[in-house]
A and B are shown apart, each in its own frame.
Chain A
């Protein structure tokens, strides 16, 4: 299985600011996914990030708000820009490994005040 480290694990942010979340994997993976989980809700895919190409965003998510970098096969970042209280969520990085299995990082718990 893949070991995924996310930073920060938790943060309290001022509205209007931006925060970058880092995701580091212990092995090379082709596909990385970023999910958002709002309080008490299910997981919603933000975007798919493949190394060497632009991230593919899901409906309702735009690059200006959630820019993503994928500089190599073990690392990705997600930035939450110009945050508002509605952005308070858990942001989860996930990767595909062991064939088809998708593993998740511990999540980054953001509270916007």
Chain B
């Protein structure tokens, strides 16, 4: 099965700084790479995703980069704001067969005002 490692487990930044979270996976068949944000007491919400035929995708302050050869993808948040404080999960998936997400262990991001 898929092994997913996510680093760091906690990240504290000053408001306005950038944050980067890295996710490493094991299954070379994975071809869909989403990031979820979970605020305290809430459900996980998809914030950005990328497919294996694309190296980078950006949506305003959020970007995801993929290195399929090295089997890792990263979440980049620029100009962080206090409302970015949450737990972030990577969850790579193979589009055929199992189709379920395998979640990383999560990164708790704290943005200090």
Contact = CB atoms under 8 A, between A and B. Distances in A.
A48 B43 contact: no
A42 B43 contact: no
Q: Is the interface of B mostly helix, strand, loop or mixed?
A: loop
A92 B103 CA distance: 13
Contact of A105 (B43, B95, B101, B103): B43
B88 to A, nearest CB: 11
Interface stretch (A20-28, A66-74, A77-85, A96-104): A96-104
A7 B66 CA distance: 37
Q: How many of chain B's residues touch chain A, expressed as a range? A: 20 to 34
B99 A96 contact: yes
Contacts of B42: 106
Q: Is the interface of A mostly helix, strand, loop or mixed?
A: strand
Interface in B39-62: 42-46, 49
Contacts of B89: 42-43
Interface string B71-113: 0000000000000000001010101001111111110000000
A102 B104 contact: no
A41 B98 CA distance: 23
A103 B101 CA distance: 11
B43 A92 contact: yes
B103 A44 contact: yes
Q: How many of chain A's residues touch chain B, expressed as a range? A: 20 to 34
Given A31-B99, A43-B89, A48-B98, A103 B104 contact: no
Contacts of A94: 101
A101 B99 CA distance: 11
14 contacts: A31-B99, A33-B101, A43-B101, A44-B103, A48-B99, A59-B1, A94-B101, A100-B95, A101-B46, A101-B49, A102-B93, A102-B101, A103-B46, A104-B43
Query: Which 3 pairs of residues, A with B, have the shortest CB-CB distance?
Result: A104-B43, A43-B103, A42-B103
Interface of A: 31, 33, 41-45, 48, 59, 92, 94, 96, 100-107
Given A103-B46, A104-B45, A106-B42, 10 more contacts: A42-B89, A42-B103, A43-B44, A43-B89, A43-B101, A45-B100, A45-B102, A100-B95, A101-B46, A102-B91
